[in-house]
Every structure is written in structure tokens, then in C-alpha cells.
Amino acid sequence: MRIDSHAHGHAVNLNGSPKEYIARCKEEGVDAVVLIAKPDPLFASKKRMGSFVIPVAIIDIDEAKKDDIHRLFDQGAAGIKFICPNHPYGDERYFPFYKAIKERDGVAVFHTGYLMHDPEYTRYRVKLDDMRTSHIDTIERWVPHLRVLMAHFGNPHWEECWKMAWAHPTVYADLSGGTAIHRSMLMWREMFAPNGALMSDCLGKVCFGSDTQYFGEAHRFGPYIDFYERLFNEVGAPEELREKVNAGNILSLFKLEGL
């Protein structure tokens, strides 16, 4: 089984039946997705796709109120996604959000590291530093055991993300996005199997993820499946560990018995 921990797209755009679409995804290697979207299309997608979609709602971290978090969980969100903050993720003004997520037994998904810029530099006026994974360290100290998924492995502060995932029991990371899969396998091998010795407890905190679009005509998650499989082979990951990374970690993060 494989769950994509970082998926985009709206199922309202899907041509054809959800059943056929899900069968096609399974055939291509993905059994379910953590869908990250704004609330309306997110809940519409969940309604249409059932257990194929694990819904994570994007909120504006600087505009939202604590009650918005509760409302999203009431509507069926399994997690909340944070991105593009005006202040560091670890700033105490955001703590009420994290506490609310913990109260509702949900997952906090953070965009971590570099955020794409448009060619004219007109959007996303943000400081990369505010989205570093070191802020997750602060958050865990104030909201202990908050379940966190760090998207994109802190690109390019890989080492820092590695430490956060290793140090905090409820903090996980993915290698989704456009950069991690282009770095050398030598680097990743050293990250998870330093000097050739596999660190199962560290690779065991990683989730399969692509950051690609779903519900269209073609899929782009294939290269991510290849990349993760190559990584498993490079470090000699046993079957049980591969299963954790591919699906087990997402099931336990979101407290799902199965799909």
C-alpha cells in the first residue's frame, strides 16, 4: 500500500467515476492521498472520493482565528496546513492554533523551507527562516506531542529537518516537492544510513509524498515512487520499514485503522 502524504488538486474537476479513478491510481501505485486544499474544494473532494482522500485544510495562519480550526475539524478535516506565515512558525501568537489541533487530535502539516517564487517576485513575500523546521522544535516544547508532518524535508536545511524528525517522537517528514528528488542518492544514503549503518528510527519517520496534482488526465507521482524505491534499495531498508514510509506512518499520524 502507498499513501501520498502531499497531494493537490480538486476532485470536482474529475472526469469519469471516482471508482474508476481510484482503481487507476492504485494500478499506478497510489492507494490514497493526503489532500491539501482550501476548505470548500477540500470537503467537496472528500465527499466525492471517500476514503481515497485524507483531508487537510489550508488556512491563512495570520488571518484565521482559533475557532476556525475547530470549525474545520467539525466539518471533517483530519489536519490543518500552514504555509507562508508573517512570523516564525514558532512564534507564540500561533500557539492557540497548535493547541486547538492537539485538542481535536488532528495533525499539523507545515510547509517547511523554501517557498517557490513567481518570475516577477510579486507573490509570497515571506522569509524562508520563518518556515525552518527548527521552529517545530519550539512548537513541540510548548505543545508537547503535537502530531506534525514537515513537508519538503526543510529544503534546503535537510540536516536540521533530519534532527527534528529523529528527536521528536510525533514529528514526521516527507521528501515531496521539486528539490529533494534531485539531490544525490549519496547524500540521502548518508542521511539515513550514515557510514552504511541504517538508522531505522530516522528513515522510519519519513512519509512517501510527491506534492503533485491529482484528478487530472496524467499523474506526475511516478518519479517520486522511483526515488523512494531507489532510496530503500540504497540503504537496504527491510520490507517492514518500506511499508511504514509508504503508508504506515500516515495511517498512524492520522489515527486511521486502514483505508
The least CB distance from residue 25 to Zn ion, in Å, is 18
Interface stretch with Zn ion, choices 69-77, 127-135, 167-175, 208-216 (CB under 5 A): 208-216
Interface stretch with Zn ion, choices 73-81, 102-110, 116-124, 209-217 (CB under 5 A): 209-217
The least CB distance from residue 68 to Zn ion, in Å, is 20
Cβ closer to Zn ion: 160 or 211? Answer: 211
Cβ closer to Zn ion: 50 or 178? Answer: 178
Instruction: Report the C-alpha gap between 80 and 75 in whole angstroms.
Output: 12
- Sheet architecture: strand order including 53-58: 206-207, 171-174, 147-151, 107-111, 79-82, 53-58, 32-37, 3-8, 212-213
Cβ closer to Zn ion: 35 or 241? Answer: 35
The least CB distance from residue 229 to Zn ion, in Å, is 22
The least CB distance from residue 127 to Zn ion, in Å, is 19
Asked whether the beta carbons of 177 and 211 are under 8 A apart, the reply is yes
Cβ closer to Zn ion: 4 or 211? Answer: 211
The least CB distance from residue 213 to Zn ion, in Å, is 10
**Phi-psi label, residue 58: left if phi above 0, alpha if psi -120 to 50, beta otherwise:** beta
Cβ closer to Zn ion: 81 or 242? Answer: 81
Burial class (CB in 10 A: 0-12, 13-18, 19+), 91: middle
For the chain, the farthest-separated pair of C-alpha atoms sits apart, in whole angstroms, at 50
Give the contacts of 244 (CB within 8 A, at least 6 positions apart). 204
Give the contacts of 131 (CB within 8 A, at least 6 positions apart). 83, 84, 85, 89, 110, 111, 112, 113, 115
Total residues at the site for Zn ion (CB under 5 A)? 1
The closest residue (CB) to Zn ion is: 211
Contact residue for Zn ion among 4, 140, 160, 211 (CB under 5 A): 211
Cell 511516478, located at residue: 222
Interface stretch with Zn ion, choices 18-26, 43-51, 63-71, 205-213 (CB under 5 A): 205-213
What are the respective helix, strand and coil percentages of the chain, to the nearest 5? 45, 15, 35
Interface stretch with Zn ion, choices 38-46, 207-215, 224-232, 243-251 (CB under 5 A): 207-215
174 binds Zn ion (CB under 5 A): no
Instruction: Report the C-alpha gap between 209 and 245 in whole angstroms.
Output: 9
Q: Which residues bind Zn ion (CB under 5 A)?
A: 211
